[in-house]
Structure 1
Amino acid sequence: MKRTLTLLFLLIYLASFSQETINFQDTSFKEILAKAKKEKKLVFMDAYASWCGPCKLMEKNIFTLPAVKEYYNANFINARFDMEKGEGRDIALKYGVRSYPSFLFINGDGELVMQNFGYMGEQDFLAIAKEANNPKFANNSSKELFEQGESDPNFLLNMMKLYAQSDYELAKKASERYFKVKNEDELTRDDIGMLLYFLKSTSDPNYQIFKDRKDAITKIMSEDIYKQFDVNIKISKVMENSLDQNTGVINDDYFFKNAIPLVGKTEAEIALNRMKVIYYPNVRNFKEYEKAALAYYKDADNFDTEELLKAAWLFSEHVDTKTSLKKAEEWAEKAVMKSESSENTYILAKIYAKTGNKSNAKMYAEMSKNLAIQNGKDSSAAEQLLQSLK
């Protein structure tokens, strides 16, 4: 009798524990969609990865909250899939899930209605649910609502995020309506990021917003950065057309011929070298990158030390010209002088080793090793460098 009671209490405990979080369906995605369609509800999907820390914190801290459980269980068919296992892989591909956690709200026809990302607190997590649970989504997809002229700013902002990767042109149209609706409203940092993301040409409707709202934009970004964006927008097509698709090399003559009339010689030269220092490392053309970086970072005082350190790292890995490495030395030294870390002291040590300054190389490699150990980081790279310098 005692064992029976113990077992009964255990079962009751386990049953109550199982309700201590959102009620996620343990079935296939196809069956989940069918249930959502039958009950005329949206699917809420927690798209996670097993190694993702914020995913685990959401599961532990937020999914278990009474208000969260109550709202999600009452209003959605809830599902969880590991995006790197089984059926989750196909779901990730279908909906373009690239960051974790991602929260997907999907109608019974499998159309993505709304999407959000990252760890969030109780109120934000409830807010996205209430936004997704708007009755207008019950019988219409986001695309249909957009075509019908929906102009709610939150809806349009979600459209931009939702389709930025899968349907850029639709997202771009949503951005144009969004900024038209915003009119004279205050622009946030996120607004400006969206404006610039969808702004590719001076012929785009949003370019006029960019020009008209300059005062508001330069409250968030500097005049210099604003000017850089303006130059890039004006010559974006020239940049695109100056890249030879067959050779992967940028045609300087074509670029200057077409860019100088738009922005002047000085801005054209800066823009071209900026383009090269971004493009050439991605295609592993380090010979062209070396030339472009030396020109672009000629006056190192005009650049952030983190940007200079990245260039120094690329030189330490892929450049052997002594005079070029001397410039990289200066860039790395600026970063180290600002604040010593195991990473920047290692890069400086590596450059010293390549330029033949063995004593400085040993000193900074030792410093990198000690800083790494002090901060619980991997010191093996510095140790290997020290071994090579013996």
Structure 2
Amino acid sequence: MIRKLLLLPLLALYFTISGFTFYTSIPAPVTDKTPAESIKWLTIEEAAAKMKQKPKKILIDVYTDWCGWCKKMDKSTFTDPKVAATVNKHYYAVKLDAEGKEPITLNGQTYKYNPQYRAHELAVALLNGQMSYPSTVYLDEEMKMLTPVPGYIDAPTITKILTYFGENHHKRMTWQEFEKK
């Protein structure tokens, strides 16, 4: 009787291990899904160089490393397939660390980190001194300011904004008229 009691746990362990080995040896199913499109991020200098060959609007994500809402936008908004497709179609996408220390030369002007503002001069210029993170800045094909948009923006909302500027609706109607459409 004692021998049977000792044998039962060993048999259970054997079947558990052999079942586990069988289960893990089954290959994962192959799917036809292609990976979702992702935004092709550039530096502002790379975007300016590309503008010379093929003018497009520029979207600038002004962020900081410590900003929680910036990280949320990176994880939820900027990974959305529709957002990525719209950005890649109509814009050069730029990431700009508002507290970056490296100088940036753009159109013959060099912008540096300004310790007084505790921010990069280019970020200060793009945000008109209204330092709010995250902020999304839209520039036209001549690198002229369309508008900065401060704060976290979810995927459906930013898709509307991207379409409004990307498809040049801003040249024919106000934002309020566009939203009603």
Superposition TM-score, scaled by structure 2 size = 0.60
Structure whose residues are more often helix by fraction: 1
Q: Distance in 1 between matches of 2:52 and 2:58?
A: 9
CA–CA separation in structure 1 for the residues paired with 2:136 and 2:164: 13
Does the 8 A contact of 1:34 with 1:108 survive in 2? no
Report the 3-state secondary structure (helix = DSSP H, G, I; strand = E; otherwise coil) of the residue aligned with 1:116.
strand
Output the CA distance in 2 between the equivalents of 1:74 and 1:48. 23
Other-structure match for 2:91:
76
CA change 1:135–1:154 in 2 (3 A) is closer
CA contact (8 A) 2:40 2:88 kept: yes
Name the residue aligned to 1:113: 146
Match of 1:10 in 2: none
One-letter amino acid of the counterpart of residue 93, structure 2: N
Deviations 1:59-105 (A, max 9, x none): 01111111111111111111101011134712112222510111011
Question: 2:133 aligned with 1:100, yes or no?
Answer: yes
Q: Offset of 1:48 from its aligned partner?
A: 0.5
1:58: which partner in 2?
A: 73
Q: Residue type matched to 1:57 in 2? A: K
Deviations along 1:275-334, one digit per CA (max 9) or x if unpaired, are xxxxxxxxxxxxxxxxxxxxxxxxxxxxxxxxxxxxxxxxxxxxxxxxxxxxxxxxxxxx
Gap change, CA 1:30 and 1:104, over 3 Å in 2: same
Indicate the SS of the match to 2:79: coil
Q: Whole-Å Cα distance in 1 between the matches of residues 54 and 77 of structure 2?
A: 25
Superposition RMSD on alpha carbons, in Å?
2.8
Gaps of 5+ in 2: 1-33, 105-112, 114-119
Name the counterpart of 2:158.
125
Tell whether the 8 Å contact from 2:96 to 2:123 is kept in structure 1 after alignment: no
Higher strand share: 2
8 Å CA contact 1:33–1:108 kept in 2: the answer is no
Task: State the one-letter code of the partner of 2:51.
Answer: A
Q: Kindly name which structure, 1 or 2, has the bigger radius of gyration based on alpha carbons.
A: 1
- State the Cα distance separating 1:54 from its structure 2 match: 0.5
Q: Distance in 1 between matches of 2:121 and 2:142?
A: 16
SS at match of 2:137: strand
Partner of 2:11: none
**Structure 2 matches for 1:19-58, cutoff 5 A?**
21-25=38-42, 27=43, 29-58=44-73
With a CA cutoff of 8 Å and minimum separation of 6, indicate the structure with the bigger relative contact order.
2
State the AA in 2 paired with 1:84: E
Superposition deviation, residue 46 in structure 1:
0.5
Specify which of 121, 129, 132 is matched with residue 90 of structure 1: 121
Unmatched segments (≥5 aa) in structure 1: 1-15, 138-144, 157-390
Deviation (angstroms), 1:21: 3.4
Contact persistence 1:47–1:104 (CA under 8 A): yes
Structure-2 change in CA distance of 1:133 and 1:66 (3 Å): same
TM-aligned CA deviation for residue 35 of structure 1: 1.4
User: Matches of 2:74 and 2:154 in 1, distance apart?
Assistant: 12
Query: Matched residues in 1 for 2:163 and 2:66: separation?
Result: 29
Alpha-carbon distance, 1:110 to partner? 2.5
* Closer/same/farther in 2, CA of residues 102 and 84 from structure 1, 3 Å limit: same
TM-score, normalised by the number of residues in structure 1? 0.29
What is the deviation of 1:114?
2.3
Deviation at 1:40, TM superposition (A): 2.2
Contact 1:36 1:108 in 2 (8 A): yes
Q: Deviations over 1:200-233 (max 9, x none)?
A: xxxxxxxxxxxxxxxxxxxxxxxxxxxxxxxxxx
Q: What letter is aligned with 2:39?
A: I
Evaluate the alpha carbon distance shift between residue 50 and residue 112 of structure 1 in structure 2; reply closer, same or farther with a 3 A threshold. same
Q: What amino acid sits opposite 2:67 in the alignment?
A: C
3-state SS of paired residue (1:51): coil
Paired with 1:53 and 1:38, the residues of 2 have a C-alpha distance of 36
Q: How far apart, CA to CA, are the structure 2 residues paired with 1:109 and 1:40?
A: 8
Letter of the 1:23 partner, please give it.
K
